[in-house]
Amino acid sequence: MKNLILTLTGSNRKRVMLIFLILMLPVTIFASDGSVPKIGPIRVEFIIFGLILLGVALFHKQTFWVAITGLTVLLIFKFAFDPAFKLGEHMFGTTPFLEQIMDKDLRQGEWGIILNLLGLLLGFAVLSKIFEESRVPDILPRYLPDDWKGPFLLLIFVFILSSFLDNIAAALIGGTIALVVFKNKVHIGYIAALVAASNAGGSGSVVGDTTTTMMWIDGVSALNVIHAYVAAFVALLFFAWFASHQQDRHQRIQKDANTNVKIDWLKIVSVLLILAGAIISNILYDMPALGVWIAIIIGAILRPVPWKEVPSSLKGTIFLLCLVMCASMMPVEELPDASWVTAFALGALSAVFDNIPLTKLCLDQGHYDWGMLAYAVGFGGSMIWFGSSAGVAITNKFHEARNVVLWVRKGWHVAVAYVLGFFALYLLLGWEPADTKEHKIINCPVPGCPMAGQGETPEGAVSYLDLINE
């Protein structure tokens, strides 16, 4: 952390002050009457958040300080002009914290999400290094084709891996392999494809992505998510084709791997232990980061842990957490009702607006096609490097990819693949909402509408499901 502070000198300090003044502009202009201000139907929080994202795009070498400054300005605004905002309740809810720790069903506030992301990003950075030191990436060139089919198969491997592992881990493992087989020369378009493959692979699995895990915990059946793979597979075939040819022209797989390389099987055991810890802890306690770090500590008995990866990944992790905090303070309840159009828009929005609070809103809102939504918010975050935790994690390895313009320009095939995959799913299976007894409609938009699964509709009340089916 000391090194991070020391970087705030000279020109960086001037840029931070400029960013601060720009972000404060809508506050000083529109927040003068003591109420939560709007410009037409748009609340000022959204304007500030939009400026933060614009700052990330324009000042790609100072994204860390943009996020820190943006969070500071947003907190100032919320404290000053939003009387309903209470930071303590926002972070920890109203239930005693000890009770939340003991019972996952009582968990409230943002602390669980923040702590999970912190633990997963740092823990999987350690996992990635352990996997690299196992020497498995060193032998892969022997088995991958040395033309475009090699990078194509690597993307498929990441896709499959993320179906039963966390997408962060899948992206980092794929990035580690790419660094070795392409001799540190990885095309930005291919980096975007690695993120897309990890997010696509996790979109149809309730253990493959944070958003789908949230759905599972909230009562959405795994069978109501799995059809996301229809869209994900279509998208994979499209972006993998173009990204593989990009990488093949940029740098081919090197076939001069050392034939004397010996795999460190104890490090492989450590990797498997960490992944198992994440899955088990996620199922039992809704806290996969806890299982990751327990497994890392246990694995230290087998082999030394590369602790140096923690401070090297800290800056990128703090950046993501700041954006998540900013997103969590948005009045997302003002989003429109559930429909396939809304799901498509949320997917595009998730490229810049963290998908975790968006998913939480949709769960509270109810009546979504959960597979379509899982694909949209999961894969949609791949279109910009900071749109998903997998993207932030992998750019800790590839700093050159932290450029929004280059990501969009070189990784154009990811955005096109999102559209193709979404409409392939819609045309083949249609829009099939799955609000049954397995899911409650918590925030019904219709006055007098009862919560699904909590008794019969009162006499004279109009059912939400009846209205939307008219």
Residue 25 is predicted with a pLDDT of 66
The span from the CA of 366 to the CA of 439, in Å, is: 8
Cβ neighbours around 19 below 10 Å, total: 23
Residue 451: the pLDDT is 41
Per residue in 27-71, pLDDT (tens digit) is 665 554 555 667 667 788 888 888 887 787 677 677 788 888 889
CA 222 to chain centre: 19
Q: What are phi and psi of 209, to 5 degrees?
A: -155, 150
Does residue 130 sit in the same domain as residue 59?
Answer: no
The residue segments making up the domain with residue 23 are 2-85
> Is the same domain home to 209 and 239?
yes
Distance CA(419)–CA(265), nearest Å, equals 42
Taking only the tens place, the pLDDT of each residue in 84-102 is 888 999 899 888 988 888 8
Q: What's the pLDDT tens digit per position in 139-178?
A: 877 788 888 999 999 999 999 888 877 788 889 889 988 9
- Indicate if 365 and 236 belong to the same structural domain: yes
pLDDT interval class at 334 (50, 70, 90) = low
Long-range contacts: 39-47, Cβ < 8 Å, 24+?
43/331, 43/334, 44/77, 44/81, 45/74, 45/77, 45/78, 45/329, 45/330, 45/331, 46/330, 46/331
The pLDDT score that the predictor gives to residue 9 is 52
Tell me, yes or no, whether 382 and 322 share the same domain. yes
pLDDT at 462: 43
Q: Under a CB-based contact definition with an 8 Å cutoff, are residues 228 and 375 in contact?
A: yes
Residue 148 DSSP label: T
Judged against a pLDDT cut of 90, whether residue 207 lies above it is answered with: no
pLDDT greater at residue 425 or residue 381: 425
**pLDDT of amino acid 124:** 83
Q: What does pLDDT average to over the chain?
A: 80
> Is residue 39 classed as helix, strand or coil in its secondary structure?
strand
- Average pLDDT (4-17) is 57
Residue 93 belongs to some domain of the structure: no
State pLDDT tens for residues 347-365: 988 887 667 667 877 877 7
Degrees to nearest 5, angle at CA 156 with 371 and 252: 145
pLDDT given at position 16: 66
Q: Which of the four pLDDT bands, split at 50, 70 and 90, describes residue 259? A: low
Are 72 and 220 in a shared domain? no
At 423 the pLDDT is 96
Residue 434, in any domain of the structure:
no
Q: Domain count of the chain?
A: 3
Name the domain boundary from 31, 57, 85. Answer: 85
Residue 47 lies in a domain: yes
Task: State residue 48's pLDDT score.
Answer: 84
- Residues 350, 448, single domain; the answer is no
Integer Cα distance of 278 and 287 in angstroms: 8
152 located within any domain: yes
Q: Are residues 49 and 163 in the same domain?
A: no
User: Tell me, what's the pLDDT at 44?
Assistant: 81
Q: How far apart are CA 167 and CA 153, in angstroms?
A: 17
What is the pLDDT, as a whole number, of residue 42? Answer: 76
- The mean per-residue pLDDT over the stretch 18-32 comes to 63
Higher pLDDT, 449 or 418: 418
Which of 36, 55, 85 is the C-terminal boundary of a domain? Answer: 85
Looking at the predicted structure, is the pLDDT value of residue 447 above 70?
Answer: no
Percent of residues, the chain, with pLDDT higher than 90: 27
Residue 463 has pLDDT above 70, yes or no: no
> What residues does 42 pair with on adjacent strands?
39
Residue 382 lies in a domain: yes
221 shares its domain with 258: yes
Give the pLDDT band (50/70/90) at residue 218: low
pLDDT band, residue 258 (cuts 50/70/90):
low
Tell me whether residue 98 is in a domain: no
| pLDDT above 70 (res 291) | yes
* Claim to verify: residue 161 and residue 232 sit in the same structural domain: yes
**Predicted local distance difference test score (pLDDT) of residue 468:** 38
- Same domain membership, residue 173 and residue 49: no
- Answer yes or no: do 51 and 183 share one domain: no
Least confident of 29-33, 38-42, 203-207, 273-277: 29-33
Q: Are residues 178 and 43 in the same domain?
A: no
Tell me whether residue 414 is in a domain: yes
Q: Is residue 412 in some structural domain? A: yes
Instruction: Report whether pLDDT(470) > 50.
Output: no
Whether residue 446 is predicted with pLDDT greater than 50 in this model: the reply is: no
pLDDT tens readout for residues 382-414: 999 888 878 888 988 888 888 888 999 999 999
